[in-house]
Amino acid sequence: MKISKKVILLGHYGVGKSSLTRRFVHRKFSEQYSTTIGVTIEKKVVQLEEHQVSMIVWDIAGESSHTKVPQSYKLGAHGIVYVIDLTRPETYQRLDKEIADLQNYLPNVPILVVGNKKDLFTEKELCDLLHQLPLSPYALSSAKTGDNVDAMFTELARRMV
């Protein structure tokens, strides 16, 4: 059965939301940073065992808190990817509060926290870093290498159906 789901990407500016989307949808990565203005809509069909999930990905411009994101962009979301930048502590310092707020704002909507730019760390550094995060992320990803990108979106598709 084919179903459509709205997925929103939230997080501070420059954490890699657009890069993750581009990697997931177009299998591409660019070192050049370009700011998202407002929102960019992308679509990707994920094939699960019983369902074909058409994911309408809303790549929303970065904000330091989800409360600054226009409500109409968040309303009706079936799934959320909250992206943090592992190299910038300010992007995850208030992570626990942000996620609690979001769960309150959009109850029963699955949220996956993703620590991006893992390619910039060694395994040992990543282990140390995980202890400093206020919340344990669902996955550590790299839009550059593609590590864990498909797996994370597929897991979200699974949780949304």
Partner 1 sequence: MLMNTKEETIEKQRAFDRLRRLLLEDEQKEHKELVQQVVELREDINTRQRLQQKVDPIIDEKLSYVREHFPELFGNVLTQAIKRQIRESRDEVVDALYPIMGRLIKKYIVVELTALSEKIDRQLEQAFSWEMWLARAKAWARGESLGKEIIAQAMAPAIEEVFVIEQHSSVLLGSFSRQNIVDRDMIAGMLTAINGFVKEAFAKEDQHLEVIEYETYKILIKNFQTFYIATTVSGVVNAEFKQYLDDLVLEFVHEVMNPTHYDTTYQGKDDYLSEPLQRYFTEATA
For 59, the enclosing helix (H) or strand (E) is strand 52-60
Q: Which is nearer to partner 1, 102 or 140 (CB)?
A: 102
6 binds partner 1 (CB under 8 A): yes
Where does residue 47 rank: exposed (0-12), middle (13-18), buried (19+ CB within 10 A)? exposed
Q: Return the structure tokens found at 25.
A: 């949808």
Hey, what are 3's tokens?
A: 């179903």
Considering beta carbons, is residue 61 or 126 the nearer one to partner 1?
Answer: 61
Q: Which of residues 12-71 bind partner 1 (CB under 8 A)?
A: 38-39, 41-43, 54, 56, 58, 70-71
Q: Shortest gap between Cβ of 105 and partner 1 (angstroms)?
A: 13
Among 73, 93, 101, 129, binds partner 1 (CB under 8 A): 73
For the chain, give percent helix, strand, coil, nearest 5.
35, 25, 40
Q: 91: which 2 tokens?
A: 């992007």
Nearer to partner 1, 76 or 89 (CB): 76
Q: Which residues bind partner 1 (CB under 8 A)?
A: 1-6, 38-39, 41-43, 54, 56, 58, 70-73, 75-78
